A and B are shown apart, each in its own frame.
Chain A
Amino acid sequence: MNDSFVKFADSSSSGLGAFNLNIKGFIIQLALFFIVLWVFKRWVLPPIVRTLETRRKTLEDSLANAQKTEEILRQTEAKVAEALQKARAEADQAIAEAQTEAKRIIAVAEAQGDEAAERIRKEAKTFLQEHEQILRKELKDELVALVIQTTAKVIEQKLTPEEDMRLIQDAIKVLPK
Chain B
Amino acid sequence: MIKISRRELANYAADQLLAGVSAKKIARQLAAVLVVGKRQNEAELLADDVAYELEVRGKFTMATVTSARHLSPKLRQEITEAVRQAAAVETAKLEEEVDQTVLGGLRIETAAHSWDDTIIRRLNDLRGAA
| Interface residue ranges, A against B (CB under 8 Å) | 140-141, 144-145, 148, 151-152, 155-156, 159, 161, 163-165, 167-172, 174-177
Contact = CB atoms under 8 A, between A and B. Distances in A.
Q: What bracket does the count of chain B residues touching chain A fall in?
A: 20 to 34
B8 to A, nearest CB: 30
A141 B67 CA distance: 27
Given A175-B85, A176-B85, 16 more contacts: A148-B126, A151-B123, A152-B119, A155-B104, A155-B119, A159-B104, A159-B119, A161-B69, A164-B104, A167-B117, A167-B119, A168-B67, A170-B117, A171-B117, A172-B82, A175-B83
Contact of A168 (B106, B120, B123, B127): B106
Contacts of B67: 164, 168
Secondary structure type dominating chain A contacts: helix
B115 A156 contact: no
Contacts of A164: 67-69, 104-105
7 contacts: A148-B126, A152-B119, A152-B120, A164-B68, A167-B106, A170-B117, A171-B105
Nearest to B74: A165
